[in-house]
Chains A and B, each alone.
Chain A
Amino acid sequence: MVENRPWLTAFSHLVLIAGVLVTAFPIWITFVASTHPGENLLAGQAPIWPGPMLWQNYSEVLSAGMGAAGGVPVGEMMWNSLIMSLMITVGKIAISIVSAYAIVYFKFPFRMTFFWLIFITLMLPVEVRILPTFQVVADLGMLNSYWGLSVPLIASATATFLFRQFFLTVPEELLEAARIDGAGPIKFFRDILLPLSRTNIAALFVILFIFGWNQYLWPLLVTTDESFYTIVMGIQRMVNVADSEPQWHLVMATATLAMIPPVFIVIAMQRLFVKGLIETEK
């Protein structure tokens, strides 16, 4: 604090509290709606306080899903989302840490060519090349599978860059010492570099898990089989039911369930999250 201005400080707190309330308001309304019987929501005036149906609504969507939207149990969708996001996260970290290792610690022909090839992927988000990517995945017979859901999203320039930047800051003496002691490239990677990268891996894990969990367009395209629906794309099928008002209490229960895992991770691992976010974007 530079100077003492009690009014301004009080004003700051007021603004921030208003900000927090505005941020939380949609979530509160969602949660409230998910605890009411369906008729209450269609009666014309949305409720502000929770109703009595918390347990029934959640157990209904988790185990049976919503009839009008094909009746896929949301529990199953959450499981699919979990597998997809873990595969994306682990896959991205694994392939980018080894390729960054090769690019930083080895000198070999075409090193820079590989580097640029990886770099280009930064410029091509799935959204701009959906049709041809879909054709490739279809030709490979990967539609409706966990591989099809995750592998095309695994290549990541950002993770490779993060590891590259980090490896460049690792003191050269470590490698010299390891070589004098007779450690080969694999031993050096496993026993020295990997333990040193632990925080970076954890931070990246948080960011990538959220990225994976929130994928929408890609699962929408590659899954036609209900048993591979993910929760974030499944909601859309519940909202856009033909010719009728959606069953909002079930939609809102599903939305709440879709938000819980990533929001929990952000709040529980806030430090890693902030670190990961700020470093991947540099």
Chain B
Amino acid sequence: MEKRVTFSHKSLPYLLVAPQIVITLIFFIWPASQALYQSVLLEDAFGLSRQFVWFQNFAQLFGDRLYLASFTTTMVFSIATTFFSLSIALFLAVMADRVIKSATVYRTLIIWPYAVAPAVAGVLFFFMFNPSIGILAYMLRALGYDWNHELNGGDAMILIVVAATWKQISYNFLFFLAGLQAIPRSLIEAAAIDGASPLKRFWTIIFPLLSPTTFFLLVVNVVYAFFDTFGIIHATTEGGPAQATNILVYKVYSDGFIGLDLGGSAAQSVVLMTIVIALTVVQFRYIEKKVEY
């Protein structure tokens, strides 16, 4: 889509795009190309010597047991976070859509965790699950479960999933509610007249009509779980205990900045970029499809 009428000016348009292009080149394109370049080099930590090693860094990466374990951890974490935050949000949104008059009140009360930084959300749950003083750990002990995320990898994973889910529900709720309110009432009324129960109406009418929203949120949530949750992990478990919560984004950081393995970290960056690009492409295919409707 383009404007029929435009201005013609020799230098002005370049001047207008210049700030954004300059920043994009310096802070996005150049570093990304550096990551690509470094991923095929073997470099010592001080940058004194470098050697071109083709795809050795990648081969090493995928032969590394720890890296593959981190992949599995990321999968478990993102699938759990996406599943719980989507299903809880959908359930709440369907309920809010039923009581339409008070929906805005509930919306106000549910959406604000969106504004809480992931790192802060992590710290809140870290405190509540604290094995010796946390209130949730205390409740769990009363129920007979000895919670300790500092020793037990499974507990640590639950901790970060709960924190990540809590923060993300508000976002999903907002989109589900908007999606639900866009479904024509007449369809649901017609089904009700035909005698379909609320549950049947949900699965045969509402859920299929909501699928574009669900799919969009699915991609957004996977991206969130992959990248935005760095703060949750860094502020709480720091990838431990024994790598149990070391997701890919955290590993790029810890290998690069703490381990100073530049080539390996760059290779990991490249793998992550490939994942983001794949997810973005999926999302855009879907948006194009939506336009055709």
Contacts and interface: CB of A to CB of B under 8 A. Distances in A.
Contact of A120 (B29, B111, B166): B29
Interface in A246-260: 248, 251-252, 255, 258-259
Interface in A20-44: 20, 22-24, 26-27, 29-30, 33, 41-44
Contact of A42 (B7, B34, B133, B192): B133
Contacts, number: 305
A160 B112 contact: no
A118 B277 CA distance: 14
A103 B17 contact: yes
B77 to A, nearest CB: 15
A29 B127 contact: yes
Contact of A8 (B31, B34, B98): B98
B244 interface: no
Considering residues A24, A136, A236, which has the most beta carbons from chain B within 10 angstroms of its beta carbon?
A: A236
A34 B6 CA distance: 58
Contacts of B102: 13, 16
Contacts of B287: 282
Interface stretch (A59-67, A126-134, A195-203): A126-134
Nearest to B5: A175
Contact of B7 (A128, A185, A281): A185
A171 B235 CA distance: 49
**Which size bracket describes the interface of A in this complex?**
35 or more
A258 B117 contact: yes
B19 A95 contact: yes
A135 interface: yes
Given A95-B20, A130-B253, A160-B20, A235 B7 contact: no
Contacts of B98: 1, 8-9, 12
A233 interface: yes
B146 to A, nearest CB: 15
Given A23-B166, A151-B23, A176-B5, A235 B120 contact: yes
Interface residues of B, number: 103
B99 A12 contact: yes
Interface in A229-269: 232-233, 235-236, 239-240, 245, 248, 251-252, 255, 258-259, 262-263, 265-267
Nearest to B199: A8
A106 interface: yes
Interface in A216-231: 216-217, 220-221
B238 interface: yes
Question: B-side binding surface: helix, strand, loop or mixed?
Answer: helix
B234 A29 contact: no
Contacts of A175: 3, 5
Contact of A248 (B95, B113, B116, B127): B127
A46 B16 CA distance: 56
B118 A216 contact: yes
Interface string A1-23: 11101001101110110011011
Nearest to B185: A2
Contact of B198 (A8, A46, A210): A8
A266 B115 contact: yes
Nearest to B92: A19
19 contacts: A2-B188, A2-B189, A8-B98, A15-B92, A16-B102, A19-B95, A26-B125, A29-B135, A107-B8, A123-B280, A131-B269, A136-B34, A217-B231, A220-B234, A235-B120, A252-B127, A255-B120, A259-B115, A273-B111
| 4 closest residue pairs by CB, A with B | A132-B31, A214-B117, A262-B115, A102-B16
Interface of A: 1-3, 5, 8-9, 11-13, 15-16, 19-20, 22-24, 26-27, 29-30, 33, 41-46, 48, 94-96, 98-99, 101-108, 111, 114, 117-118, 120-125, 127-137, 140, 151-152, 154-155, 160, 168, 172, 175-176, 179, 184-186, 188, 210, 213-214, 216-217, 220-221, 232-233, 235-236, 239-240, 245, 248, 251-252, 255, 258-259, 262-263, 265-267, 270, 273-274, 277-278, 281-282
